[in-house]
């Protein structure tokens, strides 16, 4: 298989999960493990362009595929627009769900370049975040979508007024 | 109007994000040391049983298995230390008896995590089951005793108020009893469950330990909120000096109180490493996490309001039980006491609370976001709504009538007995009503009802206590003495301008997503005029961090932030003397701006920070008597905790055919005093709201009668997903505290404390036309549907 464009091969136990292969064999620790039951999405990677929860796939099943992890997303110093959106719109706090969430968002925008808020919310419902309440993750993905369409992103919403009654 | 005085920093992008969005942030489980071994635990399938035998021979014989440890191996280390050791301390491994499902019975250490789990399944344990008591209300009744050597299942009873004043308590009880006899009052009462929750940080806990006998030192990496406390507990357990434990908390993937604890696995990996001479790692699986990491909440209590028909509350009572689980850990019994702190909320009416902390055959409970305060505010604000409905009064008006008035501040003494720093409750309520359009919301609700749609609006107030806190809390039993850190509730910060004029800030608290690296850089930048990009904030390493207790209780900015602010001022004062020497001016005339120092009124007489910093490290060039270096360490001990407050409003629509609740809007007017980084503050509120809403609508740690956890996976324990929540609408009032020089109060928990009851109030509001007055959380469709059905049957019957 290739991971982030690099050809890799190794002998592993048949039961080795893809996420363990990526993290422990390949030492690409940006892909995280949150539940090992495909529910939280922290382990999401792209397998042949499809968002895939790497904790519910065996490494051997991925033979011959092309895998993209969070480490392969930026173009050198240049961040992917989704990464930029997460930074610009405070789309992360502890950062643990973030790689999986970013990869899911990349997959979402690949299929739907102009998602509504509702479509974004449904598009990432397979990825759990316990820190952000998703508010700024949605804003981050909206930012990225606008950027990728060549449009100016909407301004942030945290400079709201201090109210005096 | 946006004022500049109340925003101390601005919404700058976070310093911590570049690593995290590229996948190069380092969490504990990412660590791999040469020769590292892996741990799996054998855990009890029974809630209460005698351990008759443990046969680990087959597991020990497996290739690659290095050891299987049981209680016989670790008994001499004693139980797991706890900060407030009221109740039964947890044995490191079950010793002759198990007291909850999932209790660790044996520890397997092997070459890989796969092999360790295989071997754990080859350890054969014989259990002789015993009767279990699972429900806290049974524990105070006829249920089985959890610990034979304790007098009863009630570990301690918290009673107030005023708290700590027996005569005052008696007078309060009498006043409320007298009020109930009046014929112009209504008494509204409701038993309510504030259910158990599983905190569920997305990063499972992980710990790596390596004993280095040559240095006589444990090197430990742990996903903890409290590095110094864990290091202290390890040192005490092994009888070594605290500086013999070097503990690092790297990136921590969410904490929410669950990582505000010392865990038996943290002690046991140290033990295993010392025994085996290899580094040892344990990472909990999601499946075992509800049994290996503390849970939260778990109260059953009855709230009662006695008040006049025109809205004057004459007394409030909250009586109930709080589930502590089987063993006491860090703060366990102290959590309900935090609820007592805010038991009378923002109100002036006499309040009597009596909470029994009871032990059951379940996993330990301890701090979960809000920790006692969401529970207390839940009961108060739920029953106030039922009272308002009973007398036909607007819920906002009932609250306004009973607030502690603004003129009582600062240091208004709440009826429960504690002094509140600052508060302007009417200002905040009125701001919420006008900003969010209260009367429009009510009109929308009526219009919807005309169309046959079941819209409900919930409005609540909250006050929280946070920013812990005064060293004097040690006198109430809150300190870290058990971990060798007496009275370390103060905060600390070290600011060092390096010779190249970059700045290193080292703090005694460490984040788990709260953005300390950014916020602290802003605080220091504000004083020194050195850009945020040149300031690096270090934390979480006990070898370099100044003494401090960690990040919890919404305390970091108000305590450690204030300490860092003081340290920055000290550095600025020293730098002014150095600059004055260079500019041949008086230190009093030196102003720092634009990357350097200049003489006030003479911007051309200036010198860059690089010159100042360089000179500071060459003592032979400094004036006679001036020491070299440019750094300061400061400790801050506040005179009180801080008390944020706010008004929250939820708009829901209930599908009465299915019982489904749709959260349409959530509006929050919070007041956390001054704000350093509005972006980060809003983010904290968002996350807090999601957890409170999660409790209200989805989450529930359910045990069956035998003590089996029925909701131990993320399939059965649904966290809110993106599609369950709306975008939140936030605004703020600003009432600075006078407790610290920054005027900041803390915002980590406010969203959670303010939200669960707001949702339930909204749903009950939607269903009042059916006669529904209460539904216990979580408000899942079946429960809501059943409540409507029961209410209809009740009215027909």
Confidence of residue B480 (pLDDT cuts 50, 70, 90): confident
Verify cis geometry, omega within 30 degrees of 0, for the bond prior to B161.
Answer: yes
Asked whether residue B733 is assigned to any structural domain, the reply reads yes
Record the tokens describing residue B263, joined without a space. Answer: 């865990």
> What total number of domains does chain A contain?
2
Bond into B778 cis (ω within 30): yes
Q: Tell me, what's the pLDDT at B7?
A: 75
My answer on whether A95 and A57 are in the same domain is no
Same structural domain, A124 and A104: yes
Using the beta-carbon criterion (under 8 Å), do B286 and A40 form an inter-chain contact? Answer: yes
Cis before residue B162, ω within 30 degrees of 0?
yes
Q: Where in the sequence is the domain holding B733, given as residue range(s)?
A: 296-468+640-796
CATH code (residue B657): 3.30.365.10
Residue B189 domain flag: no
Helix (H) or strand (E) holding B468: none
The model's pLDDT over B126-166, given as tens digits with 9 standing for 90+, comes to 999 999 999 999 999 877 899 999 999 999 999 998 998 99
For residue A125, tell me if it sits in a domain: yes
Domain count, chain B: 3
Residue B22 lies in a domain: no
Report the residue of chain B nearest A135, measured CA to CA.
B727
Distances (CA, A) of B791 to A46, A130, B317, B457, B762: 50, 35, 26, 20, 17
Shared domain check, B549 and B627: yes
**Is 80 exceeded by the pLDDT of residue B665?**
yes
Last residue of a domain, one of A27, A42, A71: A71
Q: Which of B273, B292, B311 marks a domain boundary?
A: B292
Q: Give the domain-ending residue among B594, B618, B636.
A: B636
Rounded CA-CA distance B130/B108 in Å is 26
**CATH number for the domain harbouring residue A50:** 3.10.20.30
Say whether the peptide bond before residue B469 is cis (omega within 30 degrees of 0).
Answer: yes
CA distances from B544 to B206, B209, B259, B379, B487 (A): 22, 18, 21, 43, 20
Q: What three-state secondary structure class fits B127? A: strand
Same-domain check for residues B780 and B738: yes
Query: CA B670 → CA A137, B551, B673, B784, distances in Å?
Result: 22, 21, 9, 29
Show the DSSP H helices in B83-238 as ranges. 113-121, 136-139, 166-181, 227-238
Cβ A136–B512 below 8 Å, yes or no? no
Residues B516 and B565 in one domain: yes
Q: From chain B, pick out residues whose CB is under 8 angstroms from the CB of A86.
A: 17, 21
DSSP conformation letters of B473-506: GGGGT-SBGGGTBTTTTSEEEEEEE-TTS-EEEE
Nearest residue of A to residue B204 by CA position? A34
| A163 domain residue, yes or no | no
Tens-place pLDDT, residues B621-643: 999 999 999 999 999 999 999 99
Each residue of B664-678: b (16+ CB within 10 Å) or e?
ebbbbbbbbbbbbbb
Instruction: Choose among B19, B202, B683: nearest Cβ to A34.
Output: B202
Q: Final residue of a domain: which of A26, A52, A71?
A: A71
* CATH number for position B75: 3.90.1170.50
Task: Please report whether residue B556 resides in a domain.
Answer: yes
From A32, A50, A71, the end of a domain falls on A71
Q: Which residues contact B117 (CB under 8 A, 6 or more apart)?
A: B40
Same domain, A26 and A87: no
Give CA B244 to chain center in angstroms.
29
Q: Among A154-163, B142-151, B311-320, B388-397, name the one with the lowest average pLDDT.
A: A154-163
Chain A, nearest residue to B672 by Cα: A162
SS3 B269: helix
pLDDT band at B489 (very low <50, low <70, confident <90, very high): confident
B494 in the same domain as B413: no
- The shortest CB-CB distance from A156 to any of B11, B287, B723 is to B11
Q: Are residues B364 and B327 part of one domain? A: yes
Q: Note whether residue A160 is domain-resident.
A: no
Q: Inform me whether the C-beta atom of residue A154 falls under 8 Å from chain B C-beta atoms.
A: no
Question: Residue B797: what pLDDT?
Answer: 45
Q: Is residue B11 part of a domain?
A: no
Say whether both B79 and B99 belong to one domain. Answer: yes
Whether residue B487 has pLDDT greater than 80:
no
Residue B3 has pLDDT above 50, yes or no: no
Indicate whether A54 belongs to any domain.
yes
**Is B699 part of any domain?**
yes
Note whether residue A110 is domain-resident: yes
Q: Tell me the chain A residues in contact with residue B428 when contact means C-beta distances shorter than 8 Å.
A: 165
Point out the domain boundary residue: B636, B655, B677: B636
Burial of B391 (C-beta count, 10 Å sphere; 0-12/13-18/19+): middle
CA separation for the pair B633, B68 (Å, rounded): 45
Query: How far is Cα B162 from Cα B415, in angstroms, rounded to an integer?
Result: 6
Is A49 in the same domain as A88?
Answer: no
pLDDT at B6: 65
Contact A86 B251 (CB under 8 A): no
Q: What is the mean pLDDT of residues B512-523?
A: 96
Considering the domain boundaries, does residue B668 fall inside one? yes
Residues 5-44 of A with CB under 8 A from B: 13, 15-16, 23-24, 27-37, 39-40, 42
- Enter the pTM of the model: 0.97
CB atoms near residue B569 (< 10 Å): 16
Q: Give yes or no: residues A62 and A86 share one domain.
A: no
d(CA B737, CA B21): 35
Instruction: Render pLDDT for B640-661 as a digit per residue (tens, 0 to 9).
Output: 999 999 999 999 999 999 999 9
Domain that holds residue A15: 2-71
**Per-residue confidence (pLDDT) for residue B795, from 0 to 100:** 64
Are B288 and B345 in a shared domain? no
- Confirm whether A31 is domain-assigned: yes
Residues A52 and A111 in one domain: no
Q: Are residues B536 and B684 in the same domain?
A: no
Whether residues B367 and B442 share a domain: the answer is yes
Does one domain contain both B273 and B324?
no
In the predicted structure, residue B256 carries a pLDDT above the cut 50: yes
Strand order, beta sheet including B645-655 = B454-463, B645-655, B660-671, B729-732
CATH number of domain containing A104: 1.10.150.120
- Identify the bridge partners of residue B297 per DSSP, sorted by sequence position: B196
Residues A48 and A99 in one domain: no
CA B474, CA B487: separation in Å to the nearest integer? 5
Phi-psi region of B484 (alpha: psi -120 to 50; beta: other; left: phi over 0): left
Q: What are phi and psi of B268, to 5 degrees?
A: -70, -35
Q: What are phi and psi of B143, to 5 degrees?
A: -65, 165
Would you say residue A134 lies in a domain? yes
**Is residue A165 one of the residues assigned to a domain?**
no
**pLDDT the model gives residue B424:** 97
Q: Under an 8 A CB cutoff, do A94 and B29 touch? A: no
The tokens of B728 are what? 């939140």
Average pLDDT over residues B421-448: 98
Rounded CA gap, B496 and B608, in Å?
17
User: Are B515 and B621 found together in one domain?
Assistant: yes
Contact indicator for A90, B687 with CB cutoff of 8 Å: no
Is the pLDDT at B263 greater than 70? The verdict is: yes
Asked if B1 reaches chain A (Cβ–Cβ under 8 Å), the answer is yes
Does ipTM surpass 0.95 in this model? yes
Q: What tokens does B173 get?
A: 């009880």
- φ, ψ for residue B136 (rounded to 5)? -65, -25
Residue B705 lies in a domain: yes
Do B644 and B714 reside in the same domain of the chain? yes
């Amino acid at each position: 298989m290739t991971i982030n464009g690099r050809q890799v091969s190794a002998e592993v136990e048949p039961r080795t999960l893809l996420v363990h292969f990526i993290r422990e064999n390949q030492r690409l620790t940006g892909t995280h493990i949150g539940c090992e039951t495909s529910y939280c999405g922290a382990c999401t990677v792209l397998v042949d362009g499809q968002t895939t929860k790497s904790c519910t796939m065996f490494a051997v099943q991925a033979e011959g595929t092309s895998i993209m992890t969070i480490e392969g997303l930026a173009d050198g110093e240049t961040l992917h627009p989704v990464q930029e959106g997460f930074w610009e719109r405070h789309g992360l706090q502890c950062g643990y769900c973030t790689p999986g969430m970013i990869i899911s968002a990349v997959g979402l925008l690949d299929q739907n370049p102009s998602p509504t808020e509702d479509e974004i919310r449904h598009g990432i419902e397979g990825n759990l975040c316990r820190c952000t309440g998703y508010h700024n993750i949605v804003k981050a993905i909206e930012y990225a979508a606008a950027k990728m369409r060549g449009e100016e992103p909407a301004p942030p919403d945290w400079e709201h007024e201090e109210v005096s009654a | 109007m946006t004022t500049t005085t109340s925003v101390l920093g601005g919404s700058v992008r976070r310093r911590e994000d570049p690593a995290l969005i590229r996948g190069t942030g380092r969490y504990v489980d990412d660590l791999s040391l040469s020769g590292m071994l892996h741990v799996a635990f054998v855990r009890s399938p029974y809630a209460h049983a005698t351990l008759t035998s443990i046969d680990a021979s087959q597991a020990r014989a497996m290739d690659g298995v290095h050891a299987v440890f049981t209680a016989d191996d670790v008994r001499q280390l004693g139980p797991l230390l706890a900060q407030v050791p009221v109740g039964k301390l947890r044995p490191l491994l079950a010793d002759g008896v198990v007291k909850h499902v999932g209790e660790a019975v044996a520890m397997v250490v092997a070459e890989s995590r796969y092999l360790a789990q295989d071997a754990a399944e080859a350890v054969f344990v014989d259990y002789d089951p015993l009767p279990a008591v699972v429900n806290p209300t049974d524990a105070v009744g006829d249920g089985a005793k959890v610990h034979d050597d304790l007098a009863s299942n009630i570990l301690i009873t918290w009673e107030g108020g005023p708290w700590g004043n027996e005569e005052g308590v008696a007078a309060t009880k009498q006043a409320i009893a007298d009020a109930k006899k009046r014929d112009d009052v209504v008494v509204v009462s409701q038993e309510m469950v504030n259910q158990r929750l599983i905190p569920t940080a997305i990063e499972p806990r992980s710990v790596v330990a390596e004993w280095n006998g040559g240095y006589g030192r444990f090197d430990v990496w742990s996903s903890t909120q409290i590095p110094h406390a864990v290091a202290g507990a390890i040192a005490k357990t092994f009888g070594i000096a605290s500086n013999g434990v070097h503990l690092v908390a790297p990136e921590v993937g969410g904490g929410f109180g669950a990582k505000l604890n010392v865990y038996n696995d943290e002690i046991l990996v140290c033990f295993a490493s010392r025994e085996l001479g290899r580094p040892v790692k344990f990472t909990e699986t999601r499946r075992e996490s509800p049994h290996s990491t503390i849970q939260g909440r778990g109260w059953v209590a009855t709230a009662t309001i006695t008040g006049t028909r025109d809205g004057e509350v004459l007394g409030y009572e909250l009586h109930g039980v709080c589930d502590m689980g089987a063993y006491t850990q860090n703060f366990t019994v102290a959590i309900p006491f935090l609820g007592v702190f805010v038991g009378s909320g923002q109100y002036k009416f006499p309040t009597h609370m009596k909470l029994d902390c009871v032990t059951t055959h379940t996993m330990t409970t301890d701090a979960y976001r809000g920790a006692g305060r969401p529970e207390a505010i839940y009961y108060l604000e739920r029953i106030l709504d039922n009272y308002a409905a009973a007398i036909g009064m607007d819920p906002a008006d009932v609250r306004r009538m009973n607030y502690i008035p603004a003129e009582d501040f600062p240091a208004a003494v709440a009826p429960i007995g504690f002094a509140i720093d600052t508060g302007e409750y009417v200002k905040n309520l009125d701001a919420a009503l006008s900003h969010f359009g209260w009367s429009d919301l009510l009109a929308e609700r009526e219009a919807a009802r005309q169309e046959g749609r079941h819209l409900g609006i919930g409005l609540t107030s909250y006050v929280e206590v946070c920013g812990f806190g005064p060293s004097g809390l040690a006198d109430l039993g809150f300190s870290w003495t058990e971990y060798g850190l007496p009275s370390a509730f103060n905060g600390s910060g070290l600011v060092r301008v390096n010779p190249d004029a970059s700045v290193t800030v080292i703090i005694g608290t460490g984040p788990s997503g709260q953005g300390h690296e950014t916020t602290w850089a802003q605080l220091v930048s504000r004083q020194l005029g050195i850009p945020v990009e040149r300031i690096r904030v270090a934390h979480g390493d006990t070898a370099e961090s100044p003494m401090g207790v960690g990040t919890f209780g919404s305390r970091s900015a108000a305590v450690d932030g204030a300490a860092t602010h003081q340290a920055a001022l000290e550095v600025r004062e020293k730098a002014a003397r150095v600059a004055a020497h260079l500019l041949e001016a008086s230190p009093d005339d030196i102003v720092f701006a634009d990357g350097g120092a200049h003489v006030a009124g003479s911007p051309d007489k200036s010198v860059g920070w690089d010159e100042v910093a360089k000179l500071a490290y060459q003592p032979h060039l400094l004036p006679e008597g001036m020491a070299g270096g440019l750094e300061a360490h400061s400790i801050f001990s506040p005179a009180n905790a801080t008390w944020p407050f706010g008004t929250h409003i939820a708009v829901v629509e209930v599908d009465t055919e299915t019982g489904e609740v749709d959260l349409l809007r959530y509006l929050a007017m919070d007041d956390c005093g001054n704000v350093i980084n509005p972006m980060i503050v809003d983010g904290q509120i968002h996350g807090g709201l999601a957890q409170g809403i999660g409790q209200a609508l989805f989450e529930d740690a359910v045990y069956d009668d035998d003590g089996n956890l029925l909701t131990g996976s993320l399939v059965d324990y649904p966290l809110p997903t993106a599609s369950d929540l709306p975008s939140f609408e936030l605004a703020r009032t600003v009432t600075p505290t006078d407790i610290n020089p920054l005027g900041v109060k803390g915002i980590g928990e406010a969203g959670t404390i303010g939200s669960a009851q707001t949702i339930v109030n909204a749903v009950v509001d939607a269903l009042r036309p059916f006669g529904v007055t209460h539904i216990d959380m979580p408000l899942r469709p079946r429960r809501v549907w059943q409540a409507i059905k029961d209410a209809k049957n009740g009215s027909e019957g």
